[in-house]
Amino acid sequence: MHDDDIANTMRALGHPVRLEILRILATQQQGQCCCADVTDSLTLAQSTVSQHIKVLLDAGLIERKPHGTRNRYYLRHDRLAELSSSFGGLLKGLAPVAANKETEQA
Amino acid sequence: MHDDDIANTMRALGHPVRLEILRILATQQQGQCCCADVTDSLTLAQSTVSQHIKVLLDAGLIERKPHGTRNRYYLRHDRLAELSSSFGGLLKGLAPVAANKETEQA
DNA sequence: CCGGTTGATCGGTGAATTGCGATGGAAGAT
DNA sequence: ATCTTCCATCGCAATTCACCGATCAACCGG
């Protein structure tokens, strides 16, 4: 993951509503959840929620699966893990040189 | 750290230039570095760099210390660590609910 | 076929962000 | 005192963001 990608993902996470949406998705068993569920849990218009979802979608943090008349959204745990790793790498890169160890992984 | 704080910090990190600035700060020995150093390493106007620095400052990710005629900037490793912890907590909160078996297939 | 529901997308508004050059104050040098 | 360097801050333009209501395609149940 490059700077731009990390920055992109960070920006997607850089909004409390989006964080909340991720949490809502995580709360559903199996992670299945449709837009209406999210909208019900927030005090925002459906179009706004849909827009936030799109941001998360574009950032690759969630996944959309059409299911009949509604869409289901899933957390992408793989990408979350990847982000975690990239973020860890970023922080390690920022750590003082003296404390730098050799624990790199991609 | 609350959602809003995390989101705030994330947004501060959500720009490649800001990530680069952090990296530049980390590269200097002792972490000391002034605005001119950063500006030299980037192809942006000094005022723009100063603005980005302010964002990082407001997010508490770096620290300013006046030093004679110039200011020195330091990475706030403590806050970075705190962020790391909060971020880890966030990801853990997003992880699949533990009341399930782990061997599931997508 | 028709009515209901879901939800992505469009158009618009206001606020925030990103970038710039210019200004000006503070501190060291002369 | 003056000159110079550093850089935070102030406008200013352009772009993006957040939010909304309205619309419209897709799907399901009669």
Asked if A80 reaches chain B (Cβ–Cβ under 8 Å), the answer is yes
Select from A23, A31, A93 the Cβ nearest to the Cβ of B93.
A23
Asked if B94 reaches chain A (Cβ–Cβ under 8 Å), the answer is yes
Query: What's the gap in Å between the CA of A12 and the closest CA on chain B?
Result: 8
Instruction: State the CATH architecture for B3-83.
Output: Orthogonal Bundle (1.10)
Q: Which residue has the tokens 């001119």?
A: B36
Q: Which sign does the torsion angle of CA A13, A93, B70, B48 carry?
A: negative
Query: What's the gap in Å between the CA of B13 and the closest CA on chain A?
Result: 6
DSSP state of B64: E
Per the model's pLDDT, the better-predicted residue between B69 and B78 turns out to be: B78
Asked if A102 reaches chain B (Cβ–Cβ under 8 Å), the answer is no
State pLDDT tens for residues A74-97.
Answer: 999 999 999 999 999 999 999 886
Q: List the pLDDT tens digit at each of the 106 positions of chain A.
A: 888 999 999 999 999 999 999 999 998 866 679 999 999 999 999 999 999 999 999 999 999 998 888 899 999 999 999 999 999 999 999 988 655 555 444 4
B15 Cβ within 7 A of any nucleic strand D atom: no
Q: Which sign does the torsion angle of CA B38, B46, B73, A85 carry?
A: negative
Domain ranges in chain B?
Answer: 3-83
Choose from A2, A5, A8, A13 for mutation: most chain B CBs within 10 A: A13
Question: Are B14 and A3 within 8 A, CB to CB?
Answer: no
Q: For residues A71 and A62, is the Cβ–Cβ distance under 8 A?
A: no
Give B51-57 contacts, CB < 8 A, sequence gap 24+.
B52/B15, B52/B17, B52/B18, B52/B21, B53/B21, B55/B12, B55/B15, B55/B18, B56/B12, B56/B18, B56/B21, B56/B22
State pLDDT tens for residues B12-53.
Answer: 999 999 999 999 999 987 767 999 999 999 999 999 999 999
What CATH code would you report for A3-76?
1.10.10.10
